[in-house]
Structure formats: C-alpha cells, structure tokens
Structure 1
C-alpha cells in the first residue's frame, strides 16, 4: 500500500490518474499545500467503516429481550429521617 499526495490542480487535470493511484492506497489531495481530501477505493472505505460500530447501535441493545434482569428489592428505605433540631 502506498500513499500518494497530489494538489487539487493535479486532481482536476487528470482524475483518471488519481483514481488509478487510489487502487494502491489512499490519495491525499491538497489545497494550497494543506491536506483537504482523501480519495479511497470503495473497498478500502468499506473496510474502514464496516469495522466501526456506532455508539447508537451499541446503546440500542437489539438482543436485550434475551436478558433476564430482576433487581433485588431493598430491605431498607432509600431515605432516612434526619433530626434538624
């Protein structure tokens, strides 16, 4: 895997060349010398995004129906009376 860096001007002039370079690894596109975009093949993009689980998906707990949860009852009151005298 190789990383290629090109200017946005080069990208505009020869997009086919840049797409071919992306088959060998990510292509960083710069704007005024600063990285501004990254071009990846769809396969590389899917490898990156398919491995990450969304926090929303984790919190949704789709298999929560299978969990048996019976919290124990408290034998003592939650609050105790306080002597304010």
Structure 2
C-alpha cells in the first residue's frame, strides 16, 4: 500500500490526482507541513469502519437476558395550575 502526501495547496490545485492516488492507499493532506486530513477511497473507508453489526444488533438485548423480569413502578402525573404570582 502506497501512502501519498500532498500539501493543501497541491490538493486544491489537483484534486483529481489525489482521488486517483486513493486507489493505491491513503492520501495525507498537510497544513504547514503537518498532517491534517486523510483521504480514502470509499471501499477502504467501508473496510475500516465495518463492524459486521447492524443497528438492531447494537440496540438489541444481549443473548440470555430475555428472561429477566422488569416491572418498573407506575408513575402518577398530577397536573395542577401554575402559580405565577
């Protein structure tokens, strides 16, 4: 995997070159000589961020807890006029 480094000026002047370079690996974009951004292909981004879990998995209950009883106490909400004096 090749790593390409471009200054912000180079990136602004030739974005097409940066996009093509992502085929070979990440593109580091520098500001004043220091890395500030990384440009990746969408395939590489998806590969790096893929966890194999769906939203349902993330918010679902862990296996084995479906038998846990949960009976929260009822709350009574009483409405009354506000005292604005």
TM-score by length of 2: 0.64
Give the Å deviation of 1:63.
3.9
What is residue 46 of structure 1 aligned with on the other side?
46
Q: Tell me which structure has the larger Cα radius of gyration.
A: 1
Q: Tell me the distance in 2 between the aligned counterparts of 1:49 and 1:63.
A: 22
How many residues align structurally? 64
Q: 2:22: which partner in 1?
A: 22
Give the structure with the higher percent helix.
1
Gaps of 5+ in 2: 70-85
**Gapped runs of 5+ residues in structure 1?**
71-85
Residues 3 and 65 of structure 1, relative CA distance in 2, 3 Å threshold: closer
Per-residue deviation, residues 1-46 of structure 1 (Å, max 9, x unmatched): 1111110000011000110001110000000001000000000000
Give the TM-score of the pair, scaled to structure 1: 0.64
RMSD: 2.3
Tell me the SS of whatever aligns to 1:2: coil
